[in-house]
Chain A
Amino acid sequence: MSKMTLKTEGERYVVVQRKFAASPEAVYRAHTDAKLIQRWMLGPDGWTMPVCINEAKPGGKIRFEWTDGKGNGFYLTGEYVALEPYSRIVHVERMHLPDPTPDNQVETRFEADGSGTLMTMRMALPDEKTRAAMLATGMEQGMEASYVRLEGLIAETAKNASA
């Protein structure tokens, strides 16, 4: 878990970085092959993706449908903008909760890092309505324990200020 970092960039973006013990080619394939995506892009334990359409070519369609098997579910649609095997993917996505959220352009980069891969994903921050809708999907349940603590940031600032 500590391998992943999630940071806000300026006022508009979230940047996620994660290292993988596999080649950029393997990590790229796991992001573009529908059969593979369906096995890991599931969110919290208990959720599944019964529908996974993923046409990995510029202009290709994306449609992921998730369910928790207890009546909660939502889906995402999108289009691929650019694909550079095995280094970069740009796509646009929107969630349907059930109203569509504003389009979010996501750039995912894969760089060789030693014998593994460093992945960097950059996406826009969702607006207020989108966040509220996302939180209402039921995905937030059981997540309190691992919240990013803003208190942590504040405590750090206080410590630096007094140092």
Chain B
Amino acid sequence: MHSLDVAFAALADPTRRAILARLAQGEATVMELVKPFRLTQPAISQHLKVLEKAGLIKRRVEGTKRPCRLAEQGVREIDGWLGMLRQALATNYDRLDEILAEMEGKKGRRKR
């Protein structure tokens, strides 16, 4: 598992999100990413390094190339944790709605 802080830092950058979006469609090499993003090769490489460190992409060696792909597990892990939090809170607040309705109802009756 990778640090969620590192993953969110990686995701905070729009270019890196766009690179992930591109990789979601399939594997790509640095050179294949240079063209659509109109960035230099070192700039792309730097972004890829951040994404790899965050556990969001994986790279393999193919001759002199190092193609990148989305790391499903890294993506799912962030998803999973935030999903758990969201679900627990949403369920809590739906319950709270009922309690608040009850509280406001009692207050109304007292007023009358």
Contact = CB atoms under 8 A, between A and B. Distances in A.
B5 A150 contact: no
Contacts of A6: 82, 85-86, 89
Give chain B's interface secondary structure class.
Answer: helix
B99 interface: yes
B43 interface: no
A128 B1 contact: yes
B87 A146 contact: yes
A11 B7 CA distance: 8
B90 to A, nearest CB: 5
Given A26-B104, A139-B88, A158-B21, A150 B95 contact: no
Nearest to A39: B99
Interface string A128-146: 1001101100011001101
Interface residues of B, number: 46
Q: In which size bucket is the chain A interface? A: 35 or more
B79 A128 contact: no
Interface in B45-100: 75-100
Given A8-B8, A131-B4, A23 B79 contact: no
A147 B79 contact: yes
B50 to A, nearest CB: 12
Contacts of B11: 8, 153
Given A11-B12, A151-B24, A155-B21, A40 B85 contact: no
A149 B72 CA distance: 12
Given A40-B92, A45-B91, A158-B24, A22 B104 contact: yes
A6 B84 CA distance: 12
A143 B87 contact: yes
Interface of B: 1-5, 8-9, 11-12, 14, 17-18, 20-22, 24, 75-101, 103-104, 107
